[in-house]
Chain A
Amino acid sequence: EIQLVESGGGLVKPGGSLRLSCTASGFTFSSYRMNWVRQAPGKGLEWVSSISTGSDYIYYADSVKGRFTISRDNTQNSLSLQMDSLRVEDTALYYCVRESTHTNYFDPWGQGILVTVYS
């Protein structure tokens, strides 16, 4: 069974840092581009960042550029998101998602991990 399990969320004050992790199983992790997508409470989906199979192509949404860093460890089947200089507006459920090799759809999604930035 293909699974993506996020961890590392929690409460943090504005300006603080948090590191999210995602552990993948059930598929060849190193063969897929991976992404983070977030959803603020009661709001829609927002793509955050993507990383290619070999970590050579990395992209960020403008809203997190310069503050978040995506990385992966193909030997450990893991994806990470280092979040620095957190803002109240970063409060959201963060999903780890696998990107199709063909036409950039997202499947599957992890269960999500909550990050709350409060002042």
Chain B
Amino acid sequence: QSVVTQPPSVSGAPGQRVTISCTGSSSNIGADYDVHWYQQLPGTAPKLLIYGNINRPSGVPDRFSASKSGASASLTITGLQAEDEADYYCQSFDSTLSGVIFGGGTKLTVL
């Protein structure tokens, strides 16, 4: 299992707001390594959504925002749209494993 924990699933109605958590430890997120977020639409490769804890690449709507505090991070999606239905992954680095780590992924369902 992943050293960084995400809820397996979240859901929300169109227009609502959802938050996906990413909980790590003192050897990864808590060691001040950056957290990045990816969106994976069904049948496609992951796409960068947030980098450096809070930054959106150009082209990513401002409905997507993220934060980090201590050993945890979170991704918030406001004004949910049907097209947001996807799997979301957080990514960081772990000093004990000396490698990149991903959260287990969270499936977002738009009701």
Contacts and interface: CB of A to CB of B under 8 A. Distances in A.
A62 interface: yes
B52 A103 contact: yes
B34 A105 contact: yes
B52 A105 contact: yes
Contacts of A61: 99
Contacts of B91: 45, 105-106
A45 B105 contact: yes
B56 to A, nearest CB: 12
A-B complex: 6 closest residue pairs judged by Cβ atoms:
A47-B100, A105-B36, A107-B48, A44-B105, A105-B51, A109-B45
Interface string A46-72: 110010000000011110000000000
A100 B50 CA distance: 13
Interface residues of A, number: 24
Nearest to B104: A44
B45 A35 contact: no
Contacts of A47: 99-102
Contacts of A104: 34, 36, 93, 100
A95 B97 contact: no
Interface of B: 2, 34, 36, 38, 45-48, 51-52, 57, 87, 89, 91, 93, 97-105
Nearest to A45: B102
A59 B45 contact: no
A110 B47 CA distance: 10
A19 B7 CA distance: 35
Nearest to B52: A103
A9 to B, nearest CB: 14
Contact of A35 (B38, B48, B100): B100
A62 to B, nearest CB: 7
A47 B100 CA distance: 6
A112 B35 CA distance: 23
A106 B51 CA distance: 9
A109 B46 contact: yes
Contacts of A111: 45
Nearest to B93: A104
B45 A44 contact: no
